[in-house]
Amino acid sequence: MSSETKPVLFHYSLSPYARRVSWYLTLRGIQYKQCLQPLIMPRPDLEALGVQYRRIPVLSIGKDVYCDTRLIIKKLEEQFPDGRLGATDGDGQALENLLETWSTDGGLFLNAVLLMPLDLPSLRDPAFVKDRSTFLTGLKWKIEDMPSLRGEAMVQVKRAFDFLESTLLADGRDWLRKTEKPTLADIHAIWLLDWVLDMGSLEDSIITEASHPKVFAWIARFRQALSHAKRRMEEMLVSGSEVLDALQHESFAQIDAEFDDSDPLGLEKGEEVLVWPTDSGSTHRDAGSLIGLNSKEIVLQRKTADNRFDIRIHFPRLNFKVVSAAHVQQPKLFPLPLTFIVTLTSQLSSCPALCPFHLAYLVSPSLVVVVVVVVVLIVVPLLPLVVARPVRPKQTYPIQQPANHRPPLADPLFAPPGAFFSLSSCFVVFAFFFLFFLFFLFFFFLFFRRLSTSSLQPQLAAPALTTRSLSLSLSLCLLSITVAASLPRLKR
């Protein structure tokens, strides 16, 4: 990694989790670049890197990509050791870990979300509501339920203010670890409370500066320190394409990743695996070659979406699941081996003859998929009409016909009993349909591609598996209809 390499923070401005990382970088004075992302999926910039992880923020340092704020801050502490904000003693580190767990995993965030004002523009956006409705694992988030849950959520957030007011800040200290400036412990404890205050979510009669003077004074000091630190920072906004081009010439931030051969999961180094979070955003899974594994971290290596170069994706071990891709059950809706289709479509994606289609996909993937689906649904059922050859109905006795009479084409679906398809015609119908079917699968897998294109195993375990299965079923139905329409016409 070059000494001039600057971290790139992928985030959007409203993300409370991204505030933790941006605050940390600002207080440390670490210059970084920002690649702003959409509020909802999809996020093409991250997909271009080969990252399917759907939560924000994501941080890249060289060709290493770090997911989850807990791991991001930990890696920043390690790779930029001068002036770190974390504690070096055991007691201080324990306090930091407890505060991080309290604010991140203790349910406080979910209660803070329930306090979001209902007049926020994002909550009025159907696309945002739909995107977040399945974000939390095992829970269905409905905006109409928020008013009835607000009271209990307010109680839990008030308990957080009470806790800090009566314990860590009770003796009048400026910062939680009695330091001269804010530290990592302050960031872990304050980010969510500051977010709630910024939204104007708190009721004046319940949580006020009068009821919690020490907490409000602590938040004011933190904001002042942050404002002062921002004066030293240079705002650098970059696009996803600029990040991708720059990373091509970067090296890996970490030379080697630790691999624990005695890990209870029994996974092997170099094995193809799938990784996803278990607490939220678990519908998107990342695939790659496992090159690092210990009690704290999971490291995958894979290609970027355009196969230009390798990247490494890092995940914390806490609240993340890693499984062998070979153990992922494949759907049984498709009678042919699915790996064969994946192999074929992977090869087709790099075929020069299909380059125009690939370029069209890059420009407007939705339009390409719509066109292909229309072709499959409309053109394919009409193929029997195209390949039907003129046949004369069987005659059991001579019938005089006018001199200019020509026998009609046999209608494949409504043909008279004497008309029939030849076996060669049926074969042509089937061949045409199969080609269209493969063509459809190619674009379908290309559009929903969320896993590695350089390996075969993980493609079918992507989060769009249900949609793919439905599409495969639809294609099979069309195939069955065409074949069924052809078989009765075979001459016995």
| The pLDDT of residue 416 | 47
- Predicted TM-score (pTM) of this structure: 0.69
Dihedral of the alpha carbons of 123, 125, 128, 130, in degrees to the nearest 10: 100
User: Once rounded to an integer, what is the mean pLDDT over residues 254-264?
Assistant: 88
The answer, yes or no, to whether residue 475 has pLDDT greater than 50, is yes
Q: Among 23, 41, 24, which residue's Cα sits nearest to residue 448?
A: 41
Average pLDDT over residues 153-177: 96
Report the pLDDT value the prediction gives residue 146, as an integer from 0 to 100. Answer: 87
Determine whether 374 is exposed, middle or buried from the number of CB atoms within 10 Å of its CB (0-12, 13-18, 19+).
exposed
Look at residue 101 and tell me whether its pLDDT is greater than 90. yes
**Measured on CA atoms in the order 112, 118, 121, 127, is the torsion positive or negative?**
positive
pLDDT in tens, 360-401: 444 455 555 566 666 666 665 555 555 444 445 554 445 555
Closest C-alpha to 471, from 430, 492, 442: 442
In angstroms, the CA 9 to CA 404 distance is 78
Asked if residues 394 and 418 have their Cβ atoms less than 8 Å apart, the reply is yes
- Domain boundary assignment for the chain: 8-237, 338-392+409-489
pLDDT band at 428 (very low <50, low <70, confident <90, very high): low
Polymer length of the chain:
492
What is the distance, to the nearest Å, from the Cα of residue 281 to the centroid of all Cα atoms in its chain? Answer: 8
Predicted pLDDT at 229: 97
pLDDT band at residue 256 under the 50/70/90 scheme: confident
pLDDT tens-place string over residues 196-227: 999 887 877 789 999 999 999 999 999 999 99
The Cα–Cα gap between 7 and 236 comes to 11
Domain 8-237, what architecture? Up-down Bundle (1.20)
Q: What is the DSSP string of 413-450?
A: TT--TT--B-HHHHHHHHHHHHHHHHHHHHHHHHHT--
What are the structure tokens assigned to 254, written together?
């970490």
The order of strands in the sheet holding 58-61 is 236-237, 33-36, 8-11, 58-61, 64-67, 310-316, 297-303, 286-293, 272-277, 320-324
CB 419 within 8 A of CB 395: no
**pLDDT value of position 469:** 46
**Mean pLDDT, the chain, whole residue set:** 78
Tell whether the torsion through CA atoms of 241, 306, 441 and 423 is positive or negative: positive
Based on DSSP, count helices (H) and strands (E) in the chain, helices before strands. 16, 10
* Residue 45 CB contacts under 8 Å (≥ 6 apart), including other chains: 10, 35, 37, 239, 240, 243
- The torsion angles phi and psi of 376, rounded to 5 degrees, stand at -65, -40
Cα separations (Å) of 387 from 155, 319, 417, 460, 491?
72, 57, 19, 35, 16
